[in-house]
């Protein structure tokens, strides 16, 4: 069987980052604005973690996808221009990291529109990609994404290669994600919010991530990693990303692609 990818590529890899900053905590509970234990932990992401991550990606010449809540972009207006300069993709991740499933239609539209406006103003272009905060979309989210002109969603977990949603005759690509290819379940730790991950060792997490890659590579699928600068930006955790990258690039015929490139390829192939 011919593979899914062109030019002899065996497996496509995307490294994506949700640059949540404080937005994911304020989206849970506005009171966290008064709790430096929450805000300083979160601000470590855009302030300390992100520059460290960007240096690593540059070192390996990898272009990634950055899902930036409008709130983070407003508070850190230097981030998006810097990401674009380095060739990375900017995509939508809510305004204050609102979970769409918890919103009514008016609220969901406002979060989508506000995020779109901010990202378009700062990046100079309409962003084609969307990853829902907390991967918790509502029953209407896919319809709204098509209505607002998005090319892809990256929030669902029912496959390990892209597929296409038929939304009233329009095509929206899905780039599926997995909790075990996300850093937060391993390392998310914020007692003030009742979040107490297992705090796995970097070696254990690397082992999970490269084990997943080995099978997806053999099967010729798509490997999408979702990381958070406030989590993986700490040196110990970033070593897991670096070791995973080193493992991946030791294989032939691997292509690192941005999510927008994967979605465009998938739609152009006419795949379902």
Partner 1 sequence: MAGIWPGDIQTVITLGFDIDGVSSWLGMNPDFANRPGLLSMAEYGPKRGVPRILKLLDGYDIKATFYIPGYVAENYEDMVKDIVKRGHEVGHHGYMHEALGNMPIDQETEILERGMEILERITGTKTLGYRAPFFDCSLDTIRLLAEHGFTYDTSMHDSDVPYVHDVKGKKLVEVPVKWVLDDYGYFAFIPQAGRRSAMQDPQAVYETYAAEFDGAYKEGNVMTMTLHPQASGRPARLTSVERLIRYAKSHPNVEFWRGIDIAEYWMSR
26 binds partner 1 (CB under 8 A): no
Q: How far apart are CA 224 and CA 217, in angstroms?
A: 12
From the list 114-122, 174-182, 234-242, 250-258, the region that binds partner 1 by CB under 8 A is 234-242
From the list 61-69, 131-139, 162-170, 198-206, the region that binds partner 1 by CB under 8 A is 198-206
Looking at the Cβ atoms of 185 and 220, the one nearer to partner 1 is 185
201 binds partner 1 (CB under 8 A): yes
CB of 81 to partner 1, least distance (A): 22
192 binds partner 1 (CB under 8 A): yes
196 binds partner 1 (CB under 8 A): yes
Looking at the Cβ atoms of 78 and 120, the one nearer to partner 1 is 78
CB of 237 to partner 1, least distance (A): 7
Q: What is the DSSP string of the chain?
A: ---SSSTT--EEEEEEEE--TTHHHHHH-GGGGG-HHHHHHHHHIIIIIHHHHHHHHHHTT---EEEE-HHHHHH-TTHHHHHHHTT-EEEE--SS---GGGS-HHHHHHHHHHHHHHHHHHHSS---EE--GGG---TTHHHHHHHTT-SEE----S-SS-EEEEETTEEEEE----GGGBSHHHH-EEGGGTEE-----HHHHHHHHHHHHHHHHHHT-EEEEEE-HHHHTSHHHHHHHHHHHHHHHTSSSEEE--HHHHHHHHHHHT--
Looking at the Cβ atoms of 129 and 188, the one nearer to partner 1 is 188
Q: Which of 157, 235, 249, 269 binds partner 1 (CB under 8 A)?
A: 235
Q: Which of 190, 216, 259, 262 binds partner 1 (CB under 8 A)?
A: 190
Looking at the Cβ atoms of 51 and 220, the one nearer to partner 1 is 51
CB of 177 to partner 1, least distance (A): 23
From the list 44-52, 68-76, 168-176, 219-227, the region that binds partner 1 by CB under 8 A is 44-52
The residue among 80, 182, 79 whose CA lies nearest residue 134 is: 182
Interacting residue ranges for partner 1, rule: CB under 8 A: 31, 34-37, 39-41, 43-44, 47-48, 187, 189-192, 196-204, 234-239
């Amino acid at each position: 069987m011919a593979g899914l990818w062109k030019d002899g590529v065996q497996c496509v890899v995307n490294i994506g980052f949700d640059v949540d900053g404080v937005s994911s905590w304020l989206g849970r509970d506005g009171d966290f604005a008064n709790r430096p234990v929450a805000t300083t932990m979160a601000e470590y992401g855009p302030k300390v973690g992100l520059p460290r991550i960007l240096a690593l990606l540059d070192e390996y010449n990898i272009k990634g996808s950055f899902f930036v809540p409008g709130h983070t972009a407003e508070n850190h207006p230097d981030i998006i221009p810097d990401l674009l300069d380095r060739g990375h993709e900017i995509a939508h991740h809510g305004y204050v990291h609102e979970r769409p499933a918890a919103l009514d239609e008016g609220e969901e539209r406002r979060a989508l529109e506000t995020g779109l406006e901010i990202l378009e103003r700062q990046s100079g272009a309409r962003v084609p990609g969307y990853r829902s905060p907390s991967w918790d979309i509502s029953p209407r989210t896919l319809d709204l994404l098509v209505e607002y002109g998005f090319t892809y969603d990256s929030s669902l977990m029912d496959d390990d290669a892209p597929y296409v949603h038929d939304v009233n005759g329009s095509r929206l690509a899905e780039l599926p994600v997995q909790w075990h290819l996300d850093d937060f379940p391993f390392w998310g730790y914020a007692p003030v919010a009742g979040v107490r991950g297992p705090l796995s060792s970097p070696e254990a997490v690397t082992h999970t991530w490269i084990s997943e890659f080995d099978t997806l590579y053999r099967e010729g699928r798509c490997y999408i990693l979702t990381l958070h600068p406030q989590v993986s930006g700490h040196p110990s955790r970033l070593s897991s990303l670096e070791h995973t990258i080193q493992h991946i690039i030791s294989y032939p015929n691997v292509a690192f692609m941005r999510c927008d490139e994967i979605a465009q390829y998938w739609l152009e192939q006419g795949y379902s």
